[in-house]
């Protein structure tokens, strides 16, 4: 069941002005939402990239109608500038450790990331998956693992790709990003899980099509698509 906060947000959104008929709705979505954001409305033009890159495009005037971000941070400046409406949480996720199929470095736990010679790939600083991964390492008291970072990627797909190709020994990604990848997934303890929140925001000025998209995302269509892909429900 959706929370009262989400219901209230929908009521507020429905009462906002702007819009008119939409010929082409453009949705900007975090890379980790590939296969989800386009399911909500198959007629929408969905652009997938890192949340930071998408936020930068909106700042530069890109004609997006809805922005789906993997964290609140990329939305903060946009909100302050009046470029997006109030963001709404629509899903959560978990982190996992991934290793190549062969796992020649014998990585089986976060603690192994501090071993000499282990090559680690993370999201870049400021990129949601990179910030979440660093938070996880900090919770585990494993800041020393950052000395083993050999590559910083601009989105989660870049991290998965490096590991799938065997170009590094381990990476930290969302649990939802490993299902179709040629990598092995290793759970990360609940104690070392940061709070991951996905946010949706209508890009100002809001359109009717954008509001309908958000309603579907927060409704039964979105809930089914997110659950099917392994995302967790938004906090109640």
| pLDDT tens readout for residues 16-74 | 333 334 458 999 999 999 989 999 999 999 999 999 999 999 999 999 999 999 999 99
Is-same-fold flag (4-92+197-228; 95-192)? Answer: yes
User: What are 67's strand-pairing partners?
Assistant: 28, 201
Identify the pLDDT of residue 234.
Answer: 86
- Taking alpha carbons only, the member of 48, 126, 91, 90 closest to residue 202 is 90
Q: Rounded to the nearest 5°, which phi and psi values hold at 152?
A: -120, 125
Domain 4-92+197-228 is found in CATH 3.40.50.300: no
Burial class of residue 80, CB neighbours in 10 A (0-12, 13-18, 19+): exposed
Burial class (CB in 10 A: 0-12, 13-18, 19+), 20: exposed
> pLDDT above 70 covers what percent of the chain?
90
CATH 3.40.190.10 fits 95-192, yes or no: yes
Q: Rounded distance, CA 176 to CA 206, Å?
A: 30
Position 23 scores a pLDDT of 58
Cα–Cα distance for residue pair 44/174, rounded to 1 Å: 25
Distances (CA, A) of 164 to 81, 121, 192: 39, 11, 24
Domain boundaries defined on the chain:
4-92+197-228, 95-192
Residues of the chain falling short of pLDDT 70: 1-23, 180
> Are the C-beta atoms of 90 and 200 separated by less than 8 Å?
yes
Cβ atoms of residues 170 and 97 within 8 Å? yes
């Amino acid at each position: 069941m959706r929370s009262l906060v989400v219901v209230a947000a929908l009521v507020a959104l429905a009462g906002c002005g702007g819009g008119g008929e939409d010929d082409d709705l453009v949705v900007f979505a975090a890379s980790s939402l590939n296969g989800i954001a386009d399911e909500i409305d198959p007629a929408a033009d969905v652009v997938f990239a890192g949340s930071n890159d998408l936020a930068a495009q909106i700042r530069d005037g890109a004609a997006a109608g809805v922005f789906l971000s993997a964290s609140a941070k990329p939305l903060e400046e946009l909100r302050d500038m009046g470029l997006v409406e109030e963001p709404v949480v629509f899903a959560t996720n978990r982190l996992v450790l991934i290793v190549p199929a062969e796992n020649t470095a014998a990585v089986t736990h976060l603690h192994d990331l501090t071993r000499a010679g282990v090559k680690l790939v993370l999201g870049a600083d400021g990129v949601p998956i990179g910030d979440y991964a660093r938070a996880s390492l900090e919770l585990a008291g494993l800041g020393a693992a950052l000395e083993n970072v050999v590559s910083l990627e601009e989105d989660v797909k870049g991290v998965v790709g490096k590991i799938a190709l065997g170009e590094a020994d381990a990476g930290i990604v969302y649990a939802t990003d490993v299902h179709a990848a040629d990598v092995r997934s290793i759970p990360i303890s609940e104690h070392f899980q940061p709070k991951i929140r996905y946010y949706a925001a209508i890009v100002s000025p809001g359109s009717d099509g954008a509001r309908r998209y958000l309603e579907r995302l927060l409704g039964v269509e979105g809930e089914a698509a997110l659950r099917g892909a392994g995302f967790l429900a938004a906090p109640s």
